[in-house]
Amino acid sequence: MQDTVGEKAEMLSELTALRSRVAELEVIAARHEDVERKLARLANFPEQNPNMVIELDLAGHTTYLNPVAQGQFPDLQGHEHPILHGLLSIISALQTSQQGYFVREVEMAGRVYEQKICCMPEDLLVRVYVHDQYLRQRSSEGLKLLRMN
């Protein structure tokens, strides 16, 4: 009889431990689902960005173009493209600098593009955020004309 009481106590203890572990796993699963939701939302960000987002590996090979970049530069295949002229030397400089990013303007086909080049050596990636300055130029020219009148 005593063995039965001892066995029951042991089983009850194991059951309590299992319930506790199940509760821990449920908390972990909920956190995991939350992280996955956040990652899905963040993954959507460059797709909806109204500016161009270009991602390259450290050798200058294109790994990602958001839809705006694809539409603007369908022939962009790497650092040889005119919009990315001189990119490899900038990547090299960024890898040894503490800053981690570089901002420049590139003129191409009569348009000016502002670029923020971000080096992420831990991910072996470079992201280039490109903003077409055309609308700002037009607005600035319009203001100059208004001031002249």
Same domain, 30 and 54: no
Residue 38 lies in domain: 1-48
- Cα 104-59-98 angle, rounded to 5 deg: 50
Distance CA 77, CA 2 (A): 78
In a domain? residue 145:
no
Cα–Cα dist 146/84, whole Å: 35
pLDDT at 64: 94
Q: Are residues 58 and 128 in the same domain?
A: yes
In the chain, the amino acid numbered 145 is: L
Q: 0.85 exceeded by the pTM? A: no
- pLDDT tens by residue, the chain, 149 residues: 557 888 888 999 999 999 999 999 999 999 999 898 888 877 777 788 889 999 999 999 999 999 999 999 999 988 899 999 999 999 999 988 888 899 999 999 889 999 999 999 889 999 999 999 876 666 666 666 667 76
Rounded distance between C-alpha atoms, residue 77 and residue 87, angstroms: 13
Q: CB 36: neighbour CB atoms within 10 A?
A: 10
